[in-house]
Structure 1
Amino acid sequence: MVFKKKLPLAVVISMSTMLMMHVFMPLNLLCLLQTHFITNKLPFSIHRMVFKKKLPLAVVISMSTMLMMHVFMPLNLHANEGELEDPTNQQKRSVNMHELEACPEEGDLLPEETPYWSDKIEEYKKPKYEFEYVGEKPLSICCAPDNTTKKSFGYIEPPKFTDKSKNPCWYDGKRLRCMPYFFIIGASKSATTDLFKRLLMHPDVKCTRKEIHWFSRLRTLGAGLKWYTSQFNTLAKDINTQIKAGEPTTSVIGEVSIDYLSDVQVWPHLTGNQGCYEPRVTIASHVRFVDPKAKIIINLRDPIRRLYSKYLFTAKSSELFKNPSPEQFHEYVVKSIRLYTKCFQQYSVRTCAYNSTIARRSKIMIHEGLYVTFLEDWLRIFPRKQMYVVRMEDYSPNIPGELSKIYNFLDLAPLSKPQLNEIGEINIVNAGKNYDVGPMMNKSMYMLKTFYKPFNERLARLLKEDKWTWNDQP
């Protein structure tokens, strides 16, 4: 009703429903229905009014609260009920930055000819491989008619970095602000935390907060660039002191936000994606626009074992999966594969991979293992020389050797073998925190191997190494 412009009727029905709930349901349930972040900020408590026999006042306050929530909170929060999310119903944010090429005023919702970035699943299995580098441009043509003559690309103008700092920094008046020199963007449960902790042991890599998620979440919620750069104030002050003293500045900082690689929630909110079933502007687009020389590190792991590891880890740290077991995991595998297989029959692989509704219904986030779909987007935006892909199966048994390669990729001063060995001998971070419920069932393994096979083979063609099929793993 909301999106068919029947807002008054929708509000009336919603409010009538809430009135019945508040009046006829047990009063103690009324207390539970309060929204904590609103109630906690009020100088009174509804449940106290109820139990002090001030029921009419309690109902009025509760109904007023719900009215504000239904009218003033973003209406699109309830739009994603269909199996395939329609991005035309997504809230779009107006931002002020770089201009994109305007979309045509007339045209089809989806292009008649399917470009390679929208290949169906059968195309993923073919030996022929196409790759198109776009750099600062959008990943694809416009998806829908748009009467706007100009598109804004993000929230800020690209900074003018000083050439006196190795780390990307610039002066905002007299204050020096800095951004990360490198990003570790995923995948989860692939030794990203372990790698970051060891990188911090290099004398030129300074400690920063992990999992800031500015490009993927906080920026779309209103946290500006000044807030983001304030997370790196300590380094900025040190570099500023070195610059004023005429000393060389070799210190750098990095950010680890593992959802940057495969986030499927934020892209509909990025300007330029109106009417799209798959993004033409991604997180990578915004990182490149602000910091075109950023170095990107991607940790990957056998997608099957990564999926099971994350399932067990999530069960340990949240209420999403109660009483985890190989049998329960298999049920989710069957459901997830069914959802994506059905989607692949109707839509492109990329459309399905980026669909947030299917991802939520999957629960185990099986889409995160479709590495090649997301990695292609990053490689179309960043030059290959600025990206380093780490295979966890190579990293874990040879940490000193892999660290040496990564330090070299980051253009950091080389460390001696004894130093590298000392760093490598430190206990693995985040290891052993999962539930021990035994290995996954053989039928789960078989189903997942079949599901991921075309994606792994395409990844191997993309990176030009057979090891990315993970056929060498038992």
Structure 2
Amino acid sequence: MRRALQYLATSAAVLCCIIIILYGDRNFAKFPDFRPAAVSKLTLETRELKFQDIGLLKGLGVEFLPNFKNPCWYEVTEAHNDLGKNKSFYASLSKSPSLSKYRYKRETKKILRCLPYFFLTGQPKCATTDIFQRINIHPDVVEPIIKGPHWWTRRRFGPPYAPQPVTLSEYLGVFNASRIEEERTDLRDASQGWFHEKITGDGSTSTLWDSSLTMSYLHKIMAGSMHKPITKYLLSRRHGSNSLSNTQTYSLKIKEAEDGVYVNDEENLQEFKYHQYHNEDGIVLPFTVADVIHSVLPKSRIIAVIREPLSRLYSSYLFFTKKTSLSPEDFDENVKTSIQKWKNCIREYSDRTCAYNKTLQNSMGVRLYNGLYSIFIRDWLKVFQRKHVLILRMEDYHQNITETMDTIFSHLDLRKLTQEEGRKVNMAPVRNKNRKKPEIGKMPESTADILQAFYKPYNRDLANLLQDSRFTWEDIYSKGHPEQLHD
């Protein structure tokens, strides 16, 4: 009996030592604590979000309200204005003619906070502005202050996209929580109570493809021994590792490398390596902004609108190029030099690494990388369930606005519109149409031939990924060069 007691005492002492060592290890302590905490002790006004909180709201102890379709929660705060105090961020919002309607209307310390239910992504010049305005015409969709706050990809990190980091609290101010809260449906079910079915969305086009700042910051906080626990955490959040019980069907393994960590994804027979290309601004990780969003909003509805890549590239060149010497000849020269830089990169690195590398992106005269849809969409499909991701062609949208909008509303699980409501959606004026093209002229046919050859394997890869031959755009090419397409 005495020996048994001595054994128990010794075991207890050893256990205490292990606990002390673990909690005393700084590397261990630095890893974010994802255990839930009392909401009343952790308000957004008293604790600013740190980028190290990979789980974002997990670290804040927030749970979404079950009687709201949109991801929302109540917060106790002293502030009566949920638009925040970041003047540099809200300067762009001052042009809104009815900005005051977005201020929280109730004089109370308990206010509703909401994140977006859906993300309308895509690439620049793919009609996302026009589609976003039509989505917001639906009576059950609450329009945010601006279409694209670009918070997840850019502004939360500060420079160069914002003078100072935009906090989560300020990002939440973009969404009109008052309107989401004010209308409710009585389900006449005591177990459910009142159900708020209104939703809101984020229309930032950079969300699909711009993960450079996310990768750079993750690289910094994954230094030393932190890369393993953070890598395992992010991979564990992906739908494949959670939804499939058979680990042999889907496995993600981590192994050491001299210059970083390899993540071997056996399902797609791809190997990712994070390393440095030119400088830290060009760091490429196996994780994208999709992983960060999914860690917070795993049930988000994603809508990606893409366009035949040749016409998209020319429209983007005309819309974003600031120099005054725009011309088809200048475009042709920039295309040739950009393709050469791309070829130089993929001689040494993978297509994925070159597509995400910010150093290479900034050196190109045209946004060649934006048309590599399969690379970006594949990363999103690794993270989100396929049923939550809707991929649309801009050409199909222009061909049949009514059918496309019905598909979008169905994807968002919104009710069917009445005839009058549908008329308002379909008859809305076209937004953000490029006006420069008729003045400058068409893309040269020789340039179109070069670009068509460049994008062909990537289009084929996308069609295989989505199991849909439309995404080769052969139906467009068979009608002639795509520079004749509508913007």
**Inter-CA distance 465–333: structure 2 relative to 1 (3 Å threshold):** same
- Which residue number corresponds to residue 166 of structure 1? 69
Can you list the C-alpha shifts for 1:40-92, whole angstroms capped at 9, x where unaligned? xxxxxxxxxxxxxxxxxxxxxxxxxxxxxxxxxxxxxxxxxxxxxxxxxxxxx
- Cross-structure match for 2:213: 266
For residue 359 of structure 2, the aligned residue among 357, 360, 372 is 357
* Larger RCO (alpha carbons 8 Å, 6+ apart): 1
CA drift at 1:418: 5.1
Match of 2:325 among 319, 323, 326: 323
- 1:310 partnered with 2:316: yes
- Give unpaired runs (5+ residues) of structure 2: 1-28, 35-51, 77-109, 159-164, 187-192, 224-259, 261-273, 276-283, 481-487
Q: Distance in 1 between matches of 2:388 and 2:308?
A: 23
Match of 2:248 in 1: none
* Structure holding more strand per residue: 2
**Code of the aligned partner of 1:375:** I
- What secondary structure sits across from 1:414 in the alignment? coil
Mapped to 2, the partners of 1:97 and 1:431 lie a distance apart of: 45
Distance in 2, Cα, partners of 1:405 & 1:307: 26
Distance 2:30 2:391 in 1: 32
The correspondence for 1:214, drawn from 135, 138, 151, is 151
- Answering whether residue 352 of structure 2 is matched by residue 451 of structure 1, we say no
3-state DSSP class of the match of 1:307? Answer: helix
Distance 1:453 1:352, change over 3 A: same
Residue in structure 2 matched with residue 40 of structure 1 by the alignment: none
Q: Cα offset for 1:247? A: 4.2
Q: Does 2:58 align with 1:157?
A: yes
Residues 241-298 of structure 1 show CA distances to partners (whole Å, capped at 9, x for unaligned) of 4579964311110111001111153133232566523222211011101111110000
- SS in structure 1 of the partner of residue 202 of structure 2: strand
Summarize deviations over 1:83-113 as a string: whole Å, max 9, x none: xxxxxxxxxxx997467xxxxxxxxxxxxxx
Quick check: 1:184 aligned with 2:120? Answer: yes
Task: Name the count of aligned residue pairs.
Answer: 324
Structure 1 segments unaligned to the other structure (5+ residues) = 1-93, 100-150
- Match of residue 292 from structure 2: 286
Structure 1 equivalent of residue 13 of structure 2: none
What does 1:9-20 correspond to in 2, within 5 Å? none
Q: Deviations over 1:421-471 (max 9, x none)?
A: 442233211124224211111111111111111110000001111110011
Q: Deviations over 1:105-140 (max 9, x none)?
A: xxxxxxxxxxxxxxxxxxxxxxxxxxxxxxxxxxxx
2:148 touches 2:202 (CA, 8 Å); kept in 1?
yes
Structure 2 length-normalised TM: 0.63
Does the aligned pair in 2 maintain the 1:261–1:375 contact within 8 Å?
yes
| Alpha-carbon separation, structure 1, partners of 2:425 and 2:442 | 31
CA distance in 2: counterparts of 1:200 and 1:434, whole angstroms: 27
**Are 1:223 and 2:225 counterparts?**
no
Name the SS for the 1:339 alignment partner.
helix
2:123/2:208 contact within 8 Å kept: yes
Asked if structure 2 preserves the Cα contact closer than 8 Å seen for 1:161 and 1:170, the reply is: yes
Contact 1:215–1:260 (CA<8 Å) still a contact in 2?
yes
SS for the counterpart of 2:207 is coil
So what's the TM-score if we normalise by structure 1? 0.65
1:102-121 aligned at under 5 Å gives the runs: none
The 1:242–1:400 alpha-carbon spacing in structure 2 relative to 1, beyond 3 Å, is closer
Higher deviation after alignment, 414-423 or 182-191: 414-423
- Structure 1 residues 288, 198: closer, same or farther in 2, change over 3 A? same
Could you tell me how far 1:395 is from its partner in structure 2? 0.4
Give the deviation of 1:199 after TM superposition.
0.5
Contact 2:117–2:199 (8 Å) recurs in 1: yes
Q: In structure 1, what is the equivalent of residue 196 of structure 2?
A: 249
For residue 196 of structure 1, what is the aligned residue in structure 2? Answer: 132
Rate the CA distance shift 1:250–1:154 in 2: closer, same or farther, 3 A.
closer
Contact 1:216 1:266 in 2 (8 A): yes
The residue that corresponds to 2:402 in the other structure is 400
Following the alignment from structure 2 to structure 1, what is the Cα–Cα distance between the partners of residues 430 and 152?
Answer: 28
Distance 2:339 2:136 in 1: 39
Mapped partners of 1:242, 1:421: distance in 2: 23
Match of 1:337, SS state, is helix
Letter in 2 for 1:214: W
What is the one-letter code of the residue matched to 1:212? P
